[in-house]
């Protein structure tokens, strides 16, 4: 194991432990660690709305900008001051959510393969977010704004793209005019608009993207930001004075952490870090490229165009097109290899994916080349033979470790929703005492909807259903973190006890 892999696993475990703690405090649906992307979107809109309110009272001039902000902060603290603080802290919160979101996706290896697009388009989102935030600090025109403005202009001047150094406009008090603030307002309005557009580009290839957090989490976030606004309101430094070099500054480290580096290392090093770091982030999905198995394939003479695979695919990798083989159906499914994550959820959705046939007939409308339905039934048959206590565990490659538990046998799949409900019916009918489906935690599925689709299928809310003839007391689910080893073992032990208590001679040896 190399150093990078060790770091990845360490960060992943930190997130898993944090998620586990938040699950206990708020429940899976409101777990902020699993809603980092939606929280970033939500805090953008909080910042946008409060920014519009502040702009109504903002005076766009060198002499009036600072006074108008101070009036809102001090004279109208109960409204204007709160709006200013909400604007600042929601912007900081968006940076924090973005950084955590980036780290989480990297640590869980969700940025390579077919997921490269979201990662790649996230790089310009970072740049636009910082341009949006820093341009807002300039508008206050206090000592902090002066420090940031001069540092930014000196950084840009190093490129030599302007005939006259832009920083020369900040040499002495009175050298700036009102047109400067008009330009700043323009930049601070249009940079967030471009940011919003890029955020839309960022999620455009995601089927049914979630951009709004659960209502309870949104309300809780708003209350937390509001409370912080009253406890530690955003205030200004002294008014900017270009004749004086500010020395005592309270930096917003979410946005300004690299300015001290600029002072220490100079513009060349900082440009190298910024551009080099951005390019490195952009090409990370191909360092190295993810080696994926073959994508799902469609067998046309078994496909009746029912659309279940199309409706269940979490990444929009399946489209329905007019029939091409002359069979009496309107449509057929087509798989886009570049979008397919090889999760197998489409196989679990197909009505022809059933084990109640001879092996030679086990050909489905859609299947995974490297993990066909024949292989799944073979694994299930072996599990039925090896489960000495009659309990079969169904798990996924990214969740709990279901193999190696005494008295049970495991069937591990790319995703638990890869297994059609008919296989659970098959296992019970072939003598299994019970089947435990153990997957990723609620709202934490690697493939977005795997846990939800399996729950819906088992509970009769989504085709294909688990047949009513299957005794529900013999089927159990556990959605938990890979760290919940004790919980898994306790659940299995309890399941065995419950199966033993059921009437019937078949439980005598459980």
In tens, the pLDDT along 275-322 reads 999 999 999 999 988 888 999 999 999 999 999 999 999 999 999 999
Residue 255 lies in a domain: yes
Contact at 8 Å (CB) between 138 and 148? yes
pLDDT at res. 1? 60
Task: Quickly list H helices, 300-356.
Answer: 308-312, 345-349
State both tokens at 8. Answer: 């990845």
pLDDT at res. 510? 41
Are residues 233 and 195 part of one domain? yes
Are residues 340 and 244 part of one domain? no
Last residue of a domain, one of 231, 249, 283: 283
Q: Rounded CA gap, 366 and 146, in Å?
A: 62
Are residues 168 and 229 part of one domain? yes
pLDDT at res. 450? 95
CB neighbour list of residue 154: distance below 8 Å, 6 or more residues apart? 167, 262, 267
Kindly report the pTM of this predicted structure: 0.92
Residue 127 lies in a domain: yes
CATH code for position 429 = 3.30.70.20
pLDDT at res. 504? 61
What would the pLDDT profile of 174-220 be if each residue is shown by its tens digit?
778 888 888 888 999 999 999 999 999 999 988 888 899 999 999 99
Biggest distance spanned by C-alpha atoms of the chain: 95
Are residues 446 and 350 part of one domain? yes
Q: Rounded CA gap, 171 and 465, in Å?
A: 73
Q: How many domains does the chain have?
A: 2
Q: Rounded CA gap, 489 and 442, in Å?
A: 19
Residue 290 lies in a domain: no
Residue 251 lies in a domain: yes
Residue numbers in the chain where pLDDT is lower than 70: 1, 504-510
What would the pLDDT profile of 363-377 be if each residue is shown by its tens digit?
999 999 999 999 999
- Dihedrals φ, ψ of 185, to 5°? -60, -45
CB neighbour list of residue 494: distance below 8 Å, 6 or more residues apart? none
pLDDT at res. 508? 41
Are residues 499 and 410 part of one domain? yes
Q: Rounded CA gap, 92 and 77, in Å?
A: 20
In 331-472, the DSSP E strands lie at 331-335, 366-368, 391-396, 408-413, 434-439
Q: Rounded CA gap, 141 and 161, in Å?
A: 25
Per the structure, the complete domain to which residue 457 belongs is given by 296-507
Residue 19 lies in a domain: no
Residue 327 lies in a domain: yes
Are residues 325 and 243 part of one domain? no
Residue 27 lies in a domain: no
CB neighbour list of residue 61: distance below 8 Å, 6 or more residues apart? 178, 181
Are residues 343 and 262 part of one domain? no
Are residues 330 and 257 part of one domain? no
Residue 11 lies in a domain: no
Are residues 265 and 153 part of one domain? yes
Are residues 240 and 172 part of one domain? yes
Last residue of a domain, one of 258, 283, 308: 283
CATH code for position 149 = 1.20.810.10
Are residues 460 and 313 part of one domain? yes
Last residue of a domain, one of 257, 283, 309: 283
Are residues 258 and 313 part of one domain? no
Q: Rounded CA gap, 291 and 388, in Å?
A: 36
Residue 104 CA: distances (Å) to CA of 25, 163, 211, 256, 279: 20, 43, 17, 23, 20
**% helix / strand / coil in the chain, to the nearest 5?**
55, 10, 35
């Amino acid at each position: 194991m190399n150093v990078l892999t060790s770091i990845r696993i360490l960060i992943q475990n930190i997130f898993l432990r944090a998620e586990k703690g938040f699950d206990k405090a708020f429940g899976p649906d409101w777990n902020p660690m699993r809603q980092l992307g939606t929280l970033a979107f939500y805090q953008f809109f909080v910042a946008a709305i409060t920014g519009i309110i502040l702009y109504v009272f903002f005076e766009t001039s060198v002499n009036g900008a600072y006074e108008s902000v101070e009036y809102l902060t001090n004279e109208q603290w109960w409204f204007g001051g709160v709006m200013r603080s909400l604007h600042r802290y929601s912007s900081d919160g968006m940076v924090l959510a973005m950084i955590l979101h980036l780290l989480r996706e990297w640590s869980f290896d969700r940025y390579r393969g077919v997921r490269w697009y979201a990662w790649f388009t996230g790089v310009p989102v970072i740049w636009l977010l910082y341009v949006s935030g820093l341009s807002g600090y300039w508008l206050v025109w206090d000592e902090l704004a002066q420090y940031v403005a001069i540092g930014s202009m000196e950084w840009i001047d190093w490129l030599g793209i302007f005939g006259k150094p832009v920083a020369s406009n900040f040499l002495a008090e009175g050298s700036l005019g009102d047109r400067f603030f008009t330009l700043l307002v323009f930049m601070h309005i249009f940079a967030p608009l471009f940011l919003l557009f890029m955020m839309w580009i960022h999620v455009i290839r995601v089927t049914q993207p979630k951009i709004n957090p659960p209502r309870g989490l949104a309300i809780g976030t708003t209350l937390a930001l509001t409370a912080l606004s009253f406890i530690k309101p955003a205030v200004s430094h002294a008014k900017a004075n270009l004749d004086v070099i500010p020395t005592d500054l309270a930096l917003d480290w979410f946005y300004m952490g690299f300015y001290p580096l600029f002072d220490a290392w100079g513009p060349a090093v900082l440009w190298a870090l910024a551009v080099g770091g951005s390019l490195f982030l952009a090409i990370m999905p191909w360092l190295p490229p993810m080696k994926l198995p073959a994508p799902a394939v469609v067998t046309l003479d078994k496909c009746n165009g029912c659309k279940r695979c199309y409706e269940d695919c979490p990444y929009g990798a399946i489209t329905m097109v007019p029939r091409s083989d002359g069979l009496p159906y309107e449509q057929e499914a087509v798989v886009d290899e570049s979008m397919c994550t090889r999760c197998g959820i489409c196989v679990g959705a197909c009505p022809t994916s059933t084990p109640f046939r001879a092996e030679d007939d086990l050909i489905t409308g859609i299947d995974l080349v490297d993990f066909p339905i024949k292989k799944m039934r073979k694994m299930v048959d072996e599990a039925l033979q090896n489960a000495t206590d009659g309990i079969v565990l169904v798990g996924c490659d990214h969740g709990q470790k279901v193999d190696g538990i005494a008295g049970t046998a495991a069937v591990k799949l790319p995703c638990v929703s890869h297994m059609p409900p008919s296989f659970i019916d098959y296992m019970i009918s072939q003598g299994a005492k019970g089947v435990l489906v153990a997957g990723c935690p609620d709202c934490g599925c690697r493939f977005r909807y795997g846990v939800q689709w399996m729950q819906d299928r088992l509970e009769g809310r989504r085709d294909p259903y688990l047949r009513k003839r299957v005794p529900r007391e013999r089927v159990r689910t556990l959605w938990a973190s890979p760290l919940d080893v004790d919980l898994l073992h306790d659940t299995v032990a309890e399941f065995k006890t419950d199966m033993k208590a059921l009437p019937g001679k078949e439980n005598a040896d459980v």
